[in-house]
Amino acid sequence: MKIFYSAALFFVGLNLSQAQVFDSGSFAQMTDVSNNGVAVGNVMNAYHVKWTEAGGDVNIGELTSGDFISGFTNVSTDGRYISGTMTNPDTNFDEMARFDTETGVWTFLGGLGAISELTLSSSWGMSSDGTAIVGLGFINAAEGHGIKWTQDTGLVDLGSTVPERSSRANSINDDGTIVVGWQDTDYGDREGIYWKNGEQFALKDGDGNPTGEAIGVTGDGKTIIGFTLDNPFIWNEVEGYTEITHPDPNFSGGAASITDDGKTVVGYFRPWNGQAVMGEGFIYTKETGRVNLNDYVASLGYDNLGITFALPLGISPNGKYITGIGRTDDDLRGFVIKLPAGLATDNVQNANKISVYPNPVLDILYFKNADKVSSVEVYNMVGQKVLATTAVSKDGLNVSKLAKGAYVIKVKAGDKTESLKLIKK
């Protein structure tokens, strides 16, 4: 998903009025966002919400079955259609459904005839225009299959290639020909798959081994994202398999969403076996690699509203909005990040630069991408070295004993050394 401060601020200086962070509410789990900034999700798995900058959160449907929302809430590119799992009032079972924001009506899409607890089917993904929805339908209480619905075909069972094992459809491309998801093996592992025109194919990594679960797909169907046991991955039909890694081997993660051009991916890393909301989000491009989403937002000069961007779950197809779940000192909060027009890629690239903050500094100096920094040297204005260390961490460097005035700080990361001006208060 790598540091940057002054350069990025220069790039966005003229566009701050267009770009900001929004808090979409306590325990709001925002999972998708449209090109025009309609973000969707649920609150405490109890009711679906639609968020806009002008209107804030709006409750668009609450489960009445007594169960919790399964699956993901998704939104079409233009913000008109929203897919999710809702209670059908005629049966009191939860099933895959589509909400029309113009009429305010949910349309219920059925299932495969069996239920698990109170769920007949669940919605996990939707095409860009809202005309196709994919998810999971139960064939008995313990087994489900990937399903696909369109207005023309109705509900279609995508099947399972392993007898008595489940599959699930997580996402679908623009024209509905490519559906991605997972297939259970005989051993109960989930392996990444895609269906092309209804036929199932296995995804493979660079060594020919099965990938983990496939989560998202670009509009053209050529690029698929997901996660293995340890790391997020990107699979492209031409370039093959790419794994996104974290410098801390004790972190594992997953890719959550990808832009329509296939160039930008958002996702998360978390401490091994820890909760996802206790980790850190990332933004990734081929040119920059993984950049911590919190560092990226800081580089834009935004007020983060006290939110740690732990779990980004959606990026709009045009790359203008990011949404997900964040944490504060005492709460979980939904968030929406509105990026400055035309500058998203530039700012991710600027995130590779080393920077320090605050500057001027009183006592503790912090380093963006502290894990990359191998040594720090501080010189006064007559060229004398007054401080040197190789022990740099996220807890910062204590410079309280330095006299007030101007200094030059040399920061080494990898094979590069940055010289920065530092003011001590």
CATH number, residue 383: 2.60.40
Query: Residue 10 — very low, low, confident or very high, per pLDDT cuts 50/70/90?
Result: very low
* Domain C-terminal end among 338, 366, 382: 338
Q: CA angle, 96 as apex, 92 and 97 as ends, to 5°?
A: 90
Query: Residue 418 — very low, low, confident or very high, per pLDDT cuts 50/70/90?
Result: confident
In a domain, residue 347? The reply is: no
- Whether residues 145 and 191 fall in one domain: yes
Q: Between 408 and 17, where is the model more confident?
A: 408
In this predicted structure, the answer to whether residue 11 has a pLDDT above a threshold of 50 is no
In this predicted structure, the answer to whether residue 14 has a pLDDT above a threshold of 50 is no
- Whether residues 34 and 174 fall in one domain: yes
- Whether residues 167 and 205 fall in one domain: yes
List strand residue ranges (DSSP E) for 185-273, in order: 190-196, 199-202, 214-217, 223-227, 232-236, 240-243, 251-258, 264-271
In this predicted structure, the answer to whether residue 188 has a pLDDT above a threshold of 70 is yes
pLDDT, residue 308, reads 96
Query: Residue 349 — very low, low, confident or very high, per pLDDT cuts 50/70/90?
Result: low
pLDDT, residue 189, reads 92
pLDDT, residue 47, reads 98
pLDDT, residue 204, reads 95
In a domain, residue 344? The reply is: no
List strand residue ranges (DSSP E) for 259-363, in order: 264-271, 280-285, 289-292, 308-315, 321-327, 332-338, 356-357
pLDDT, residue 351, reads 54
Looking up tokens 């509203």 gives 305
The residue range of the domain holding 420 is: 355-424
- Whether residues 117 and 251 fall in one domain: yes
Cβ contacts of 59 within 8 Å, gap of 6 or more:
43, 47, 48, 49
In a domain, residue 9? The reply is: no
Average pLDDT, the chain: 90
Task: Note the pLDDT tens digit of each residue in 58-82.
Answer: 999 999 999 999 999 999 999 999 9
Query: Residue 348 — very low, low, confident or very high, per pLDDT cuts 50/70/90?
Result: low
In a domain, residue 381? The reply is: yes
pLDDT, residue 393, reads 81
The rounded distance, in Å, linking the Cα atoms of 399 and 387 is 8
In a domain, residue 8? The reply is: no
Q: Whole-prediction pTM value?
A: 0.79
- Whether residues 192 and 258 fall in one domain: yes
For the record, the structure tokens of 181 come out as 């998801």
- Whether residues 408 and 288 fall in one domain: no
Q: What would you report as the CA-atom Rg of the chain, rounded to the nearest whole angstrom?
A: 23
Query: Residue 341 — very low, low, confident or very high, per pLDDT cuts 50/70/90?
Result: low
Question: Total structural domains in the chain?
Answer: 2
- Whether residues 300 and 367 fall in one domain: no
- Whether residues 190 and 309 fall in one domain: yes
The rounded distance, in Å, linking the Cα atoms of 31 and 100 is 18
Backbone φ, ψ for residue 370 (5° rounding): -55, -30
pLDDT, residue 131, reads 97
Query: Mean pLDDT lowest for which of 58-72, 173-187, 347-361, 401-415?
Result: 347-361
In a domain, residue 288? The reply is: yes
Identify whether the C-beta of residue 139 lies closer than 8 Å to the C-beta of residue 105: no
Task: Note the pLDDT tens digit of each residue in 87-102.
Answer: 999 999 999 999 999 9
In this predicted structure, the answer to whether residue 407 has a pLDDT above a threshold of 80 is yes
- Whether residues 307 and 178 fall in one domain: yes
Query: Residue 276 — very low, low, confident or very high, per pLDDT cuts 50/70/90?
Result: confident
- Whether residues 173 and 109 fall in one domain: yes
- Whether residues 363 and 301 fall in one domain: no
In a domain, residue 383? The reply is: yes
* Domain C-terminal end among 282, 303, 338: 338
* Domain C-terminal end among 338, 365, 384: 338
In a domain, residue 16? The reply is: no
Identify whether the C-beta of residue 109 lies closer than 8 Å to the C-beta of residue 121: yes
**CATH value at residue 238:** 2.120.10.30
- Whether residues 238 and 379 fall in one domain: no
CA proximity to 398, closest of 366, 363, 374, 358: 363
Query: Residue 178 — very low, low, confident or very high, per pLDDT cuts 50/70/90?
Result: very high
